[in-house]
Structure 1
């Protein structure tokens, strides 16, 4: 008689409905101990390492790398080994694999914090406690899940990468360096594009009209939408269905600015000033419950473009920051997104949103308000315009601003007063 247990995928943060399998760390038929790394899962916000909920033999799994598993669906089944450590509760039993048992989800409990020589990359919600996953050794290689995911994507053998992190941890920079040099590649990994052109058949020899992108580029195929982009589909659809958007547009005259002003910092400061002048925009609407929460704090959700999709990272407590602290906080968020090391809580909980799309192109926009927020401000590309002054005209540098607000939660007058307060602060010299 054997005891088996099904493990259901827990909520990996912020009520996300599913997660994608990145890599199994245990093979079917292999033994695993309680809390050892079982699988790396990618959500819309982070790569999370999920630990084994029990000690025993892995009997079957719900999918392979790349498959998407719904939160609450079964992820793996184990044959319990009573001679190894187990949790005190959470097991249902049955007779053998595939028997007529009615297994219940495992109930992971918090483990003592581990010493971390790497970077925290995610958090797993289990039994009301948040467990942070750090660099762990698998196959003799220490790396965080995000590094393992990148290595898999680039076809890099982590065992052959020289670690530069503390305590022998392989970092994202180590993996990228190996990929750029064409080193430590897996035997079945495709060669880098730069290495494919040979003297006998140079890439430029094919006429432009006949040239085709490499197969792995993903052109002309129906590829599944994964990770961040999958969440973007959901959140944008929900915003379109729920919000009643209205957009106001105007320009801020930056003629008084000194050279070298930090545009993003000035925008954040203007949001703080405007939120104090007109609190209606720095708010959350709960239409289902019929409540509106106006916030005393200003937690700015900054939209950041990323190859994996659009992220909104939270600069918390902006109302308490000076310019230097704002810049440090913004840089920390951007750096954290480059290597996907920001924890999920850094990508949620913002009270008002900011998009600085003008660094690329475009003057005005109708940015999307994501509930429960009430407002998003977007800054377009700076331009020079003719401005009337006393006795004539001058050419000044102007910043186009677009403010979209949920008209269910705020009036046009409140939105206009907020935008005016922003413009007034942006037009100050300092």
Structure 2
């Protein structure tokens, strides 16, 4: 029997959320058959089986958070008679370089772990004072012990869900939720958002400026999100300082010629920011089709990692729900984010005449380490001008 652990999904992502199991206990799987879909850093990944066999046990339910190296499945491996004879003739090989693998290469490189010799740092995980009044000793991963201390959970009362009753992080979270009713563990995109916002608050010298765009040519059925995307693209070409990345460690700034706009999308699963790459190549209808198609992917939790990467500036159209002005948060290495409030009627003076006009409140937060106040002011001025004097000359 073999234990299949969660492989390294790339880019230093240490944890994932189980979105959907594609197999059940007792099923027979083949090599590279997708067994589970997980979500990490807001992107979903299909994890294939490393070898053929019968599913004896699976660990974790849909919605549970798991870490790299944590056991996913126990598989009774199927081998042909020729394969067995080949294995018997083969000399034992060193496991020094065995490690979790990147998805897509699992069948060739995956570490096969004997269930009787589980590899969760067991030498360090076994409690020095094992419980003598239970059927099995208390065994827990180091991270689970640390988590139990932080949350005030009595680890001695927990029956681990891992192999040989190994206590893992998810067991601690479940115990904590039981002793503190109403407690919700942040998962998936919400967990990632919490980390990103904390990092931004710590790293960015954030300054917010506000302005209003008078929408003299506004029509009831106009698509404000599409108009904002076009206006941001135009403003980035007029003042490129805000369409940039900043690296504080090397004190370097990269000004981008291509405009990749991250568009914040609210969902029941949390906040997602898919990226419209090469926004300058889209016309209005193309932008709307992209938004609708991407929103459908987010609702179905099928957004890919590529769709969430390489934004050079971000748009948050929170006014579609509520709100006038805000202090939106910059996500490094980007240096700016545009926030749009709800459109309102405003009474203004035009000479000696009083009139009413639709007004769009705008808030721009920028990283003052990488942008000057003048650059930010010129950017928002260009943004307002584009919204007040829209053009439709972009092609997809």
Would you say 1:20 and 2:14 are equivalent positions?
no
The equivalent of 1:67 in structure 2 is 64
CA separation in 2, counterparts of 1:401 and 1:393?
A: 23
Does structure 1 conserve the Cα–Cα contact (< 8 Å) formed by 2:8 and 2:100? Answer: no
- 1:380 deviates by 0.4
- 1:318 deviates by 0.9
SS in 2 for 1:368: coil
Would you say 1:301 and 2:295 are equivalent positions?
no
Does structure 2 conserve the Cα–Cα contact (< 8 Å) formed by 1:386 and 1:394? Answer: yes
SS in 1 for 2:303: coil
Does structure 1 conserve the Cα–Cα contact (< 8 Å) formed by 2:8 and 2:101? Answer: no
Does structure 2 conserve the Cα–Cα contact (< 8 Å) formed by 1:313 and 1:333? Answer: yes
Would you say 1:364 and 2:325 are equivalent positions?
yes
- 1:245 deviates by 0.6
TM-score, length of structure 2 as denominator length = 0.70
SS in 1 for 2:17: strand
CA separation in 1, counterparts of 2:81 and 2:291?
A: 46
Task: Flag structure 2 segments of 5+ consecutive residues without an equivalent.
Answer: 84-89, 110-179, 392-396
- 1:231 deviates by 1.1
| Residue-by-residue CA offset, 1:154-176 (whole Å, 9 max, x unaligned) | xxxxxxxxxxxxxxxxxxxxxxx
Indicate how the Cα distance of structure 1 residues 22 and 85 shifts in structure 2: closer, same or farther if over 3 A, else same: farther
Task: Flag structure 1 segments of 5+ consecutive residues without an equivalent.
Answer: 87-91, 112-123, 128-218
Does structure 1 conserve the Cα–Cα contact (< 8 Å) formed by 2:44 and 2:304? Answer: no
The equivalent of 2:50 in structure 1 is 53
Would you say 1:239 and 2:236 are equivalent positions?
no
- 1:393 deviates by 2.9
- 1:355 deviates by 0.8
The one of 6, 9, 16 aligned to 2:7: 9
CA separation in 2, counterparts of 1:405 and 1:57?
A: 54
| Residue-by-residue CA offset, 1:207-259 (whole Å, 9 max, x unaligned) | xxxxxxxxxxxx95112111111111111111111111100001011123344
Which is worse superposed, 356-365 or 15-24? 15-24
The equivalent of 1:413 in structure 2 is 374
The equivalent of 2:98 in structure 1 is 104
CA separation in 2, counterparts of 1:93 and 1:103?
A: 17
Give aligned pairs, total: 314
- Structure number with the higher helix fraction is 2
Does structure 1 conserve the Cα–Cα contact (< 8 Å) formed by 2:190 and 2:269? Answer: yes
Does structure 2 conserve the Cα–Cα contact (< 8 Å) formed by 1:7 and 1:104? Answer: no
CA separation in 2, counterparts of 1:295 and 1:223?
A: 40
The one of 321, 328, 338 aligned to 1:377: 338
- 1:386 deviates by 2.4
The equivalent of 1:325 in structure 2 is 286
- 1:105 deviates by 3.1
SS in 2 for 1:413: helix
Indicate how the Cα distance of structure 1 residues 376 and 341 shifts in structure 2: closer, same or farther if over 3 A, else same: same
CA separation in 2, counterparts of 1:353 and 1:221?
A: 34
SS in 2 for 1:41: strand
Does structure 2 conserve the Cα–Cα contact (< 8 Å) formed by 1:33 and 1:84? Answer: no
- 1:323 deviates by 1.6
- 1:60 deviates by 5.9
SS in 1 for 2:217: coil
| Residue-by-residue CA offset, 1:355-401 (whole Å, 9 max, x unaligned) | 11111111100001111111000110111222221233322111100
| Residue-by-residue CA offset, 1:325-366 (whole Å, 9 max, x unaligned) | 222222222222222233221122211100111111111000
CA separation in 2, counterparts of 1:29 and 1:311?
A: 36
- 1:297 deviates by 0.8
CA separation in 1, counterparts of 2:389 and 2:267?
A: 32
Does structure 1 conserve the Cα–Cα contact (< 8 Å) formed by 2:345 and 2:359? Answer: yes
CA separation in 1, counterparts of 2:82 and 2:61?
A: 27
The one of 35, 39, 43 aligned to 2:36: 39
TM-score, length of structure 1 as denominator length = 0.65
Does structure 1 conserve the Cα–Cα contact (< 8 Å) formed by 2:44 and 2:303? Answer: no
Would you say 1:275 and 2:269 are equivalent positions?
no
CA separation in 1, counterparts of 2:251 and 2:333?
A: 12
CA separation in 2, counterparts of 1:371 and 1:71?
A: 25
Would you say 1:224 and 2:222 are equivalent positions?
no
